[in-house]
Structure 1
Amino acid sequence: MRLVVALGGNALQQRNEPLTLATQWTNARIAARALEPVARNHQLILTHGNGPQVGLLAMQAQSFDGAEPYSFDLMGAATGGMIGFILEQELGNLLGYDVPIATLLTRIEVDARDPEFSDPSKFVGPGFDRPEADRLAAAHGWTFREDGARWRRVVPSPQPQRILWHRPIRWLLEQNAVVICGGGGGIPVVQQADGRLEGVEAVIDKDRASSLLARRIPADLFVIATDVPGVYENWGTPEQRLVPELHADELEGSAFSRGSMGPKVEAALRFVRETGKPAVIGALDQIGEIVEGRAGTRVLPGRRAVA
């Protein structure tokens, strides 16, 4: 079976953990142990986020007076390579030399007219208290929004339109390689009037980019691996309940699509509607059970059958 697995924040950086290399290596090692049996038995394509890493890199680039800061397309490429190397290293240590692993930098075209460029929403970097966020906003012209109890920088997150290219990914899969690509949602580029492609200041949502990739490859199963066992009804209340199965026709306009699970449900729904195949949202440490259909919230085409 051909799988696209989108690694969420728990792959390298859990909420409220210090953003250190030691933390990222530890979490990558845990992720690799969970993914090893899947990689041995299936064609595996890994994607991952980069929000904390790219935000920190942006802050570091701004910390030297007189230094020209890196643009977000370049920082997306840098963090995609860095995180890909960490995952490749840890998976390779478990899979051995006979299982090839390749990390690809992946350009993804976006629309320069996307409304995100005038109203950014993507969180990047660490959290701050309000006074420090205000200071950074005044010093650098950054935009901050509240994220839980902290304030984090936000940047444009346009919708992914087209992946450049599919052929290297498909060729590597034909050689039985594990492919790590679409890191951080891919490197955002826009097409100019003369047809040239240029990078743009943005960070594409990892789940949306992964859904597009899974639809174009195409995958037999799209898994969004996060730090919770799946989608819950009444989340955060005494009545919360894991929902084992959702159907595409029931999700349009639902509370799930408007809540914190919104981008994940949206990404899963688009894959299911376009391919007619299932998607699953679930915990990374249950990836084996997810692939076997015994864990996570499965998003299925159509409407639930009435008994």
Structure 2
Amino acid sequence: MARVVVALGGNALLRRGEPVSAATQRDNIRRAALALARLMAEGHQLVVTHGNGPQVGLLALQGEAAGKGAFPLDVLGAETEGMIGYVLQQELDNAYAGAARFATLLTQVEVDPHDPAFDAPSKPVGSVYSESDAKRLAEQRGWSIARDGDAWRRVVASPKPVRILEIEVIRLLVAQGVTVICAGGGGIPVAQRADGAYFGVEAVIDKDHASGLLAAELKADAFLMLTDVPAVFTGWGTPAQRALGDVTPQELAALDFAAGSMGPKVQAACDFVIRSGGMAGIGALDDASAILARRAGTRVVPPQV
């Protein structure tokens, strides 16, 4: 039996171009749950994380439409962790025929308030605006804004995860055989004051980096990032495009990947392998079992000695 941390990409909840509706998200989560249930049926112990970008954006829009303004990002993160965790937990219950217990845990992830990311916000969140509206809202609300294609959006910091506050609770649940759903959307971003008190921060933690930290802290045998592409490719979109199979962190360090798409996944995979000595896989949801068996996807592995 392998202990596996599985990070579900945004496509597991909402595919490109689909409406952000409850029915659509449940249909996609049901499909993800069936894939996870197959891993469990093979005897693997799972800990599950997930994305939450579209859901946070929708809640922010709803708050603005109600005339009350958006809630802080830490609160929206907590709301979406509970909402998505509930549906995923229910669909796992429905998909897995064995004797299993599932639990969703709201997870605070500490960041350094002095992280350089706070000086250079880069993560788009929420609505798209015209340039004039974006500048007006930035002045009214103290937002940072940036161009996103033909429109403008609010951007926030994406600091590195430092510590998972509920890690001991997660360990206790895992030790009791519970399949834990946690650290959704990278976790609820919090920081610590000089007096030891915690407070929420306006930031978005990268889901894959937080999941990799979780996997290392749990001493997982494998860390899977399941997305909507079958592998990591070199020369993406060119005639020289090639899927990577087994590859080491050192080999990946010599390659370039887009910061807004595959780059964070590759870095999170390398960090986990270097930190733990386990295997990290990147690939399609339906290939999860084959990735673990090293028959599909990209597998980041320690160098042979």
Q: Normalising by the residue count of structure 2, what TM-score does the alignment of the two structures yield?
A: 0.91
The offset of 1:16, in angstroms, is 2.1
Is 1:140 the counterpart of 2:137? The answer is: yes
Quick one: which amino acid aligns to residue 214 of structure 1? A
Query: 1:251·1:257 contact (CA, 8 Å) conserved in 2?
Result: no
Distance 1:150 1:137 in 2: 9
Compared CA separation, residues 135 and 30, structure 1 to 2 (3 A): farther
Tell me, what secondary structure is at the counterpart of 1:3?
Answer: strand
Q: Note the residue ranges of structure 1 that are not aligned, 5 or more in a row.
A: none
Distance 1:119 1:51 in 2: 20
Compared CA separation, residues 34 and 136, structure 1 to 2 (3 A): farther
Is 1:69 the counterpart of 2:66? The answer is: no
Q: Which residue of 2 aligns with 1:209?
A: 210
Q: Note the residue ranges of structure 2 that are not aligned, 5 or more in a row.
A: none
The offset of 1:253, in angstroms, is 4.6
Quick one: which amino acid aligns to residue 84 of structure 1? G
The offset of 1:95, in angstroms, is 1.6
Q: Which residue of 1 aligns with 2:12?
A: 11
Structure-to-structure mapping, 1:214-293, within 5 angstroms: 214-256=215-257, 260-293=261-294
Query: 2:213·2:272 contact (CA, 8 Å) conserved in 1?
Result: yes
Which 4+ stretches in 1 moved above 6 angstroms? Answer: none
Q: Which residue of 1 aligns with 2:164?
A: 163
Q: Which residue of 2 aligns with 1:294?
A: 295
Compared CA separation, residues 231 and 276, structure 1 to 2 (3 A): same
Distance 1:114 1:259 in 2: 19
Query: 1:133·1:144 contact (CA, 8 Å) conserved in 2?
Result: no
The offset of 1:125, in angstroms, is 3.9
Q: Which residue of 1 aligns with 2:87?
A: 86
Is 1:27 the counterpart of 2:28? The answer is: yes
Aligned residues: 299
Q: Which residue of 1 aligns with 2:52?
A: 50
Q: 96-105 vs 10-19, which deviates more?
A: 96-105
Query: 1:19·1:52 contact (CA, 8 Å) conserved in 2?
Result: yes
Query: 1:122·1:205 contact (CA, 8 Å) conserved in 2?
Result: no
The offset of 1:183, in angstroms, is 0.6
The offset of 1:103, in angstroms, is 0.4
Query: 1:51·1:123 contact (CA, 8 Å) conserved in 2?
Result: no
Quick one: which amino acid aligns to residue 252 of structure 2? L
Distance 1:210 1:216 in 2: 10
Q: Which residue of 2 aligns with 1:175?
A: 176
Compared CA separation, residues 123 and 253, structure 1 to 2 (3 A): farther
Distance 2:214 2:40 in 1: 18
Distance 1:217 1:71 in 2: 30
The offset of 1:250, in angstroms, is 1.6
Distance 2:24 2:8 in 1: 16
Compared CA separation, residues 248 and 104, structure 1 to 2 (3 A): same
Compared CA separation, residues 92 and 135, structure 1 to 2 (3 A): farther
Distance 1:212 1:162 in 2: 8
Q: 17-26 vs 56-65, which deviates more?
A: 56-65
Tell me, what secondary structure is at the counterpart of 1:281?
Answer: strand
Tell me, what secondary structure is at the counterpart of 2:95?
Answer: helix
The offset of 1:259, in angstroms, is 7.0
Compared CA separation, residues 259 and 182, structure 1 to 2 (3 A): closer
Query: 2:109·2:161 contact (CA, 8 Å) conserved in 1?
Result: yes
Query: 1:225·1:283 contact (CA, 8 Å) conserved in 2?
Result: yes
Residues 129-161 of structure 1: CA deviation (Å, up to 9, x unaligned): xxx343542343244545567655432111000
Residues 143-183 of structure 1: CA deviation (Å, up to 9, x unaligned): 45455676554321110000112222122112221110001
Quick one: which amino acid aligns to residue 112 of structure 1? P
Tell me, what secondary structure is at the counterpart of 1:255?
Answer: coil
The alignment-based identity, stated in percent, is 53
Distance 1:257 1:226 in 2: 15
Compared CA separation, residues 125 and 286, structure 1 to 2 (3 A): farther
Q: Which residue of 1 aligns with 2:103?
A: 102
Compared CA separation, residues 258 and 25, structure 1 to 2 (3 A): closer
Quick one: which amino acid aligns to residue 59 of structure 2? L
